[in-house]
Amino acid sequence: MKQERITRFVKPEDADQKWYIVDAKDQILGRLAAKVASVIRGKHKAVFTPNMDTGDFVIVINADKVKVTGKRESQKEYFTFSGYPGGAKFRSFKELIEKKPEWVVENAIRGMLPKTRLGKKLFKKLKVYAGETHPHTAQKPIELSL
């Protein structure tokens, strides 16, 4: 008797989507971003489907207390360009972590998600907050240790 191999595709409605909370205090930025991106994508589940949204929601708190290794705190630069002549802006990690710590963490995680329509949809499952408090207590998030 020949055994039949069937690839099962899970619909997003059928995937059990949970809420996780991650404390970024004293975490390394890249390692935190890699783990969170994997959870948002759903790669930690047995029902992972590359072209479907089977991932979970992630809340990141204490984004202002995230760390980088080595001399990156002073040397790492973020580049933006407005499209106009002379519209290039360079900002250091140290400057951005003081002004917009949420953006630094979001940018690192966004870079690890797919650059497609699915990636934009997955990015909406990420909630980042600079302090301890967040408005998602009703979802009863589960602590995610890294």
Mean pLDDT of 13-24: 92
Q: How far apart are CA 36 and CA 122, in angstroms?
A: 11
pTM: 0.90
For residue 25, how many other CB atoms are within 10 A of its CB?
Answer: 13
The architecture of the domain spanning 19-69+95-143 is: Alpha-Beta Complex (3.90)
Report pLDDT digits (tens) over 46-102: 888 888 899 999 999 999 999 999 999 999 999 999 999 999 999 999 999 999 999
Segments making up each domain of the chain, as ranges: 19-69+95-143
Mean pLDDT of 98-116: 97
The neighbouring-strand residues paired with 67 are 28
Name the nearest CA neighbour of 48 among 6, 4, 18, 12: 12
Q: What's the gap between Cα 53 and its chain centre? A: 14
Compute the CA torsion angle 118, 123, 124, 130 (nearest 10 deg): 180
